[in-house]
Every structure is written in C-alpha cells, then in structure tokens.
Structure 1
Amino acid sequence: MPQNLLIIGATGLIGKYITKEIIEAKGSVERIVILTSKDTTHNKASEINDLKQSGIEVLVGDITKEEDVKNAYHDIDTVISCVGRNVIAQQIPLIQWASETSVTRFFPSEYGTDIEYSLESASEKPHQQKLKVRRYMSTVTNLECTYLVTGPYSDLYFAEPPFGRFEAGGFNVKEKKCSLLGDGKGRISFTAMADVGRLLVAALQHPAASRNRVLIVNSFTTSPDDILAEFEKQTGTKWEVQYTGLEKLKEIEERAWRNQDPLATALTLRRIWAEGGTLYEKRDNELIGDPPMETMTDQVRQAIERS
C-alpha cells in the first residue's frame, strides 16, 4: 500500500465506495487525504464529518487551481481520482501538476466501460474525454499509472431505467416489470459499486502487478434474462417484460444525440454493453489477489431491499 494517499472526488458516486474501502484498509497507510470543494463541505457536511472521524485529513480547494492542487499533493505519493464524467478532462492538468510534485503514481477516473475495447471504441462519443486523458498520460514519463476498467455498475443497471425511460432498459421492483436490451441473452460483465472499491484497494496492495497497466476487472458475468429470472425468484412472482432490440436501441440512441437528449450517453453505453463490449477471454482479478466479489444474487437482493 502507498504511505501517503490523496483521493479526489471522495464523496462522489463511485468515490464514496472507493474511499470506504481505503479507510477499511488504512492500517497499512500512513496518511489518507481528500481534496474537496467548499460547496461539498457544506452540502455534504455529515459525510465530511464522518470522514474526519475516520481519521481522514480533509483539505478544501478548487481542482481547477494549480496552487490548491499542488498544496494537496505535498508529500503525497499516490493520487486516486474519482471525478465524475462531466469533469473527466480536468484530470489532464491534475496529472501534469502531479508530475511536478512528490506524486509517483496516479489512478485516473477510468471506472466503467472499456474505452479501448475494439477499433470502434475510438469513435464512441462517451469515450472521448477519457481517451484524451489516456493520450496525455502516455506522454508523462515520471508517473506510474493504473487504469481500473470495471464495466457497468450492477447497482445502477439492476434499478429503474435512467430518466424513467424504459426503452433504455431497467428493472422496476415495485411494479414488477422490466425492459431488457437486445434479445435478453447477450452476456454482460458487471461490477458492484462496493467491489470497485475492493478492487482498487487490491490494486494498491499489488503495486508490481498493477503498475502502468489497464486492469480489466469485474464482479460477475450474466445476461438480462438471467437477471430477470433471479428477480422473479426472489420476489416470488412473474414480471411484465418488454424488449428493446439492438436495431431499435441504435435508432433511439442516434435520435437522442441529434436532439441533445440527456439520455444519449446512457443509451450509447448500454448499446455497447448489449453488443458484448464488456466480454473478455479472462479478467485480471487474479493479478491483484482475486478479492472476494459480490454475486448477481447479492445485487438482486440489494436492489429489492432498496426499492
């Protein structure tokens, strides 16, 4: 494990899961710091206080300001970025400033769909900012990096459709109905959000295996049909089912981008998953100690409990 670690985006969607697992493993870390905004200290005061109570050092600053960021980097050896999709490109100056300080390793916010899965990946609209970050990172010679590629988060996929739009696929536990993408049989590799944190900690604990590497990791692989069957088993009832075939999904996706629909990004990512864009001959979990992962059964149970 690194001795002095900084987390950026610690209270965000995936950042809170990563931070939780790092805190649980902190016995081997000398210092854990988070850099957060002034607004976050007010809007998420309870979360920030809990982090402080856990022994985390909280620094307040603006990630777009060099002085604030370099102050946070002081005496830090490893940076974990958990920034959201809307500010992915801001990681380029974050990496540049890290290369000018004591930082020796950087984990970019890569969690999610593989942006270099195939030749077609380079043209996918949601991948463009992450691709820019990777290109810049390749020019920095004095920083080690690790990309943790997890595939889609099962917690979000096993939930109601994004923006309530059933054509995008999803599972409504209360109404016992779902929308499946493709023919329902296409297999998708998922990662539970808690497992993203566990996998990142495992990568920290295995520095040689994760150094300057894209780690392809996940919790389990299954199909929409199998997910539905598990929901029906655990709820004890048959569900109402509709399908959005791949061609229909592509039509909806193209129209969404033309109309600047906020659903566009989600539709593209879900089309990629339905096309098999998360499947590999093998995953890299074993390279970093093969930490225990959640199962589809676990994730369906949790989705029912949340409903």
Structure 2
Amino acid sequence: MSNLSNLLIFGATGTIGRYITDAIVAARPSFGRIAIFTSPNTLHSKPDQLDALRRQGVDILVGDLTNREEVRRAYEGIDTVVSALGRGAIAAQIPLIQLANETPHIHRFLPSEYGTDIEYGPASVHERPHQQKLLVRAALKEVRPSLEYAYVVTGPYADFPFYLGRSTRCPQAGTFDALAKQAVLLGDGTGRVSLSACDDVGQFVVHALTHWDGARNRALKLNSFTTTPADILAEFEAQTGAQWTVEYTSLDQLRSLEREAWAKEAPEATGCTLRRIWTEGGTLYDRRDNEDIGVTETKTLGELVTGSIRSQVEGVPSRH
C-alpha cells in the first residue's frame, strides 16, 4: 500500500488554481491519487483544460460545492485537501473545513490563502478584503489536532495581468503599460514590495506538501523576489529600449482612491485596498520561509517583465 498522500483540489481551474494544479501534477511521483472537485458549469466551460488533466491521470469529480453529501463522497479516500477557491468563494471553505474535521482520514487542509498576509499587523484585522479569510483561519483553529494546516502566504502575484500588468479601470492605482510606454508608480517609487510569480505559487504549495515538517500549522511567508516600482520601471525600459512616461500616486492619493472606490462599491475597491497595504510595506519581513520548505529557486523580475511585455504585445486581456 502506498504511503503517498491522496489529494483533492478545489478551485483547480481558476486564476491561481491552475498554476497550483499544474505544479502538483508535474510533481506526480510525490503524490498518490490526485483529484479535483469542479462544478457542472466548469465541466462545460473548460472541457479542454479538464481533458488535459484527465490525460495526466487526474480524477475529475463533478458536484456542487455547497452540497454536503457530494463533498463527503469526494472526500472518500482523500487525506489532503488543497483549496484554491477565488476571493468570491472564500467563505465556502468553512463548511469544507468542518466536513474535513468530521472525516478522520483527512489529515491536512491547505486553505486559499495565496496573496496578502491577513495577520501582518494589528491593523490587518480591520481590512475589508481580509474578513472572509480571517473567518477561515478561525475555523481551522477549531479543528481536531490531527487535522493539520498551512497558510501559503505569497504577497501579490507579479505576472501580467497582475502587478506587472496594464490597468484600464484604475491606472492611478498602479500600471505598467508596455504598449503606451507609460507607468504609474505608487508612493515615491522607492518603497519595497515583495512579489510572487504564479508559477512559483504552485511550487510553494508542492514544497509545503512535500516538506510538511517545515510547513505544519503555520503561516509560510514566501516570495519570488523583493523589488521597488522604480526597479520594475527600469527593467521595462531596458527591455523595451525606450524611456517611459511616468506618473506617481502618493500614498495619500491612493488612500483617497480607495475610499472613493468603496463608497461607490466599485469593482476596483479591493484592489485599491490591497495596493495601499503593499505600498505601506505590508509585504515585507525580516526573513522569508522559502528555505524552510526547500524552495531555493524562483522566477526573476526580468523573466516576468519579459512575459508581461509579450502578453501585452500579443493582446492578452489586461486587468481592469
């Protein structure tokens, strides 16, 4: 009988879930069974993606995330649950955790934590985008001791269309437009920010699962690199061979944009809050936990700027 972990992934085909799933599948020898739980809608809207996973030996389980019995059946034979549910479904993890707690053969649960540290400091508890994730952490504090967890905290995603992308809806909150050769830098451009490549987020999850002694029951502070908006701009200018037009949004201006966005219930409100947190230094730590889980190599700023330029030139949709 194999001692390898049997994994069930929620949100496997989503924004960050596909990177996590691809990394897990690429590390298949380290795991036993790999299954994903997906909705009937995804079954019809992403057939090619699901067929590719089937060909790689991934079990596709179709059901309703809110149906307790369907989730219970999906848990059969599973010992590790990995969630990559998007921001709109964060609270849906709470019943998944509760059911995992009632399922003795499930021993590990990794919630969808990827992104900003929701317990960075005393002010974090009041940040509006953090509220659902804080409830998820509270739920995990109530589980039996034999149900372990890890929070994979990565800071903002670097790749286009994220931090290194072009914003069309609210460029004042930061943008790198490789077509127009224009940038809006936050603060004075010299404040450090910690970023993670989406590919690396997938690797962080794999390393957490395969180096569990270093990951167990803690928030892992992980990243690809730390840089500044000015250094990012310099890399874009070097790779495009042009001097860009640059504007700056001060921290006070960013706070004003944030207040206005929330007052209007605008879609960019969450993004404005997160960018304010990052500009305040909310991604910085005395040390990183990469080495605690065996991560020694990550993507570089140069690689991701190259990818951003290529995506913008090829017309990949930008973030709004």
**TM-score bracket relative to the smaller structure:** over 0.9
Q: Report the secondary structure of 1:290's partner residue.
A: coil
Which of 27, 30, 41 is residue 32 of structure 2 equivalent to? 30
For the residues of structure 1 that align with 2:116 and 2:284, how far apart are their CA atoms?
11
Q: How does 1:223-262 map to 2 (within 5 A)?
A: 223-262=228-267
> What is the CA distance between 1:289 and its match in structure 2?
0.7
| DSSP 3-state at the match of 1:127 | helix
The partner residue of 1:83 within 61, 81, 85 is: 85
Amino acid aligned to 1:292: E
Given candidates 275, 289, 292, the residue that maps to 2:294 is 289
Q: Give the residue type in structure 1 aligned to 2:8.
A: L
CA distance in 2 between partners of 1:251 and 1:239 (Å): 26
Unaligned 5+ residue runs, structure 2? 313-320
SS class of match (2:65) = coil
User: What code does the residue aligned with 2:150 have?
Assistant: T
**Contact kept? 1:199, 1:291, Cα under 8 Å:** no
Q: Distance in 1 between matches of 2:143 and 2:254?
A: 39
SS in structure 1 at match of 2:155: coil
2:265 and 2:21 mapped to 1: Cα distance? 34
C-alpha distance in 2 between matches for 1:205 and 1:232? 39
1:120 is aligned to 2:123: yes
Determine which of 109, 114, 133 is the counterpart of 2:112. Answer: 109
CA distance in 1, matches of 2:101, 2:4: 17
- Is structure 2 residue 139 aligned with structure 1 residue 139? no
CA distance in 2, matches of 1:188, 1:28: 33
Shift of 1:166: 1.1
**2 CA distance for matches of 1:278 and 1:2?**
34
Give the C-alpha shift of residue 51 in structure 1: 0.5
Q: Please, what TM-score do these two structures have when normalized by structure 1?
A: 0.98
- Match of 1:305, SS state, is helix
Q: Provide the C-alpha distance between the structure 1 equivalents of 2:253 and 2:5, rounded to a whole number of angstroms.
A: 51
Displacement of 1:164 in angstroms is 2.9
CA contact (8 A) 1:2 1:77 kept: no
1:43 aligns with 45
Q: Is the 8 A contact 1:151 1:190 kept in 2?
A: yes
| C-alpha contact 1:202 1:291 (8 A) present in aligned 2 | no
Q: Look up the match of 1:151.
A: 155
1:211 is aligned to 2:206: no
RMSD, matched Cα? 0.9
CA apart distance, 1:63: 0.8
Is the Cα contact below 8 Å between 1:110 and 1:149 reproduced in 2? yes
Query: What is the rounded CA distance, in whole Å, between the counterparts of 2:275 and 2:72 in structure 1?
Result: 37
Per-residue CA deviation, residues 155-196 of structure 1 (Å, 9 max, x unaligned), is 1100012x5321110111111101111111100000000000
Paired amino acid for 1:277: G
Residue 255 of structure 2 aligns with an amino acid whose one-letter code is K
User: 1: CA distance between counterparts of 2:236 and 2:87?
Assistant: 30
> Offset at 1:2?
4.5
Alpha-carbon distance, 1:30 to partner = 1.6
Aligned partner of residue 112 in structure 2, secondary structure: coil
Give every structure 1 segment of 4 or more consecutive aligned residues whose post-TM-superposition deviation is greater than 3 Å: none
- Whole-Å separation in 1 of the counterparts to 2:18 and 2:78: 20
Aligned partners of 1:112, 1:262: CA distance in 2, in Å? Answer: 18
Identity percentage of aligned residues: 52
1:58 aligns to what SS in structure 2?
Answer: strand
